[in-house]
């Protein structure tokens, strides 16, 4: 088998850890014997538990692993963290060749794992399907290189870019098949972010482990809104709000340990999204999926790394309908925000268009 085919298998295996390994990267591993037969596989299943290489290697005795080839999408770690260094175990098990998709961008690891392997006499092949490996761990790469949360926006629109009629009717623009894929997308992100307007208008459940609500004036129904009934919730509000209103809300959430108030800077009477993103990164939210109305979607564009736009074959034809990105007026085409199409996937009768900056 070609290394590219095996690396694709590693990538698919790594994806099984989505939603469970943050802030760690997604990693899959395959081990071949001298006859190029797959004798073991593993992936990083949960943060704090064994890395992919360790999961694959511990299934083998030393006789089976001696002289074997190990394929992994990310450079093996070389330091002690939650688990011992994978590079040390690779050496101990007698692996003779390691095929790597990409170097680790974590400065503690980058290049050190490869150097350790080479010094032990192990042949190392780098850069196999590197672009695909980098795409797999785009969240981890941004976290490590910029110390920022990865931001994605999800929206569902008609062909003419509307998310609702002027009266607010929006159920359902896309099909059940498309909505099922939304569940898979949410699973990839540490938190879902929405606005007080969406909470008040739709009263969504948004079942997720972490949720962020932008509620500048703390006006949502903390006692009855569905969104406050599950998960860990951070509510971003104007840090200069009146003490009376703040005390009133604190009384309401006194016995709800899942709700955390997050005072945030305000610029021009709006929550400062840069300040908010810095705060949630410090709280350990490595990635966030924005699911909101057109105004907040538009406000997040300058911070967005990825956009998921589900498009239904419907035309509303109403210039007063609500746009998916309603944030400013451009007089010239050159003022438009530019993005790159990354992928188009069919969820018949709808499509999902994924694009990045």
As annotated, the active-site residues are 53
Report helix, strand or coil for 270: strand
DSSP 8-state assignment for residue 197: H
Buried b (16+ CB within 10 A) or exposed e, 146-163: eebbbbbbbbbbbeebbb
Strands 266-267 and 270-271, sheet pairing: antiparallel
Taking the C-alpha atoms of residue 142 and residue 139, their distance in angstroms, rounded to an integer, is: 5
Locate the DSSP E strands across the chain: 28-32, 38-43, 69-74, 97-102, 123-125, 150-157, 162-164, 191-195, 210-214, 232-238, 259-264, 266-267, 270-271, 287-290, 306-311, 322-323, 340-347, 350-356
Contact 44, 14 (CB under 8 A): yes
Report helix, strand or coil for 218: coil
Say if residue 5 is preceded by a cis peptide, omega within 30 of 0: no
Read off the tokens for 96.
């003779």
Report helix, strand or coil for 289: strand
Taking the C-alpha atoms of residue 166 and residue 323, their distance in angstroms, rounded to an integer, is: 10
Cα 167 from chain centroid (whole Å): 33
E strand or H helix that includes residue 142: helix 138-146
Taking the C-alpha atoms of residue 289 and residue 154, their distance in angstroms, rounded to an integer, is: 7
Taking the C-alpha atoms of residue 60 and residue 121, their distance in angstroms, rounded to an integer, is: 21
Read off the tokens for 352.
């999902």
DSSP 8-state assignment for residue 258: T
Contact 129, 137 (CB under 8 A): no
């Amino acid at each position: 088998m070609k290394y590219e085919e095996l690396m694709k298998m590693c990538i698919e295996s790594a994806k099984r850890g989505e939603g469970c390994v943050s802030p760690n990267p997604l990693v899959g591993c395959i081990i071949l014997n001298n006859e190029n037969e797959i004798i073991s596989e593993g992936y990083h299943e949960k943060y704090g538990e064994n890395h992919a290489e360790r999961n694959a290697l511990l299934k083998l005795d030393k006789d089976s692993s001696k002289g074997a080839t190990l394929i992994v999408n990310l450079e093996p770690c070389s330091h002690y963290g939650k688990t011992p260094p994978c590079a040390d175990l690779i050496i101990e098990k007698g692996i003779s060749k390691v095929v790597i998709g990409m170097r680790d961008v974590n400065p503690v690891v980058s290049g050190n794992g490869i150097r350790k392997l080479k010094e032990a006499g192990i042949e190392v092949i780098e850069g196999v399907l590197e672009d695909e490996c980098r795409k797999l761990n785009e969240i981890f790469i941004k976290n490590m290189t910029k110390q920022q949360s990865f931001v994605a926006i999800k929206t569902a629109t008609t062909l003419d870019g509307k998310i609702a009629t002027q009266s607010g009717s929006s159920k359902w623009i896309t099909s059940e098949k498309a909505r099922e894929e939304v569940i898979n997308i949410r699973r990839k992100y540490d938190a879902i972010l929405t606005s007080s307007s969406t909470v008040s208008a739709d009263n969504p459940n948004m079942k997720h482990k972490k949720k962020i609500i932008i509620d500048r004036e703390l006006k949502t129904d903390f006692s009855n809104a569905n969104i406050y009934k599950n998960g860990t919730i951070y509510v971003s509000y104007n840090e200069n709000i009146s003490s009376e209103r703040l005390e009133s809300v604190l009384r309401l959430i006194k016995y709800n340990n899942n709700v955390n108030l997050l005072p945030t800077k305000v610029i021009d009477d709006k929550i400062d999204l840069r300040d908010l993103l810095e705060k949630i990164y410090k709280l350990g939210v490595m990635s966030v999926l924005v699911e909101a109305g057109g105004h907040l979607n538009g406000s997040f564009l300058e911070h967005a790394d990825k956009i998921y736009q589900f498009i239904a074959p419907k035309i509303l034809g109403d210039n007063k309908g609500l746009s998916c990105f309603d944030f400013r007026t451009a007089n010239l085409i050159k003022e438009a925000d530019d993005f790159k199409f990354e992928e188009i996937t069919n969820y018949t009768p709808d499509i999902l268009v994924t694009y990045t900056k």
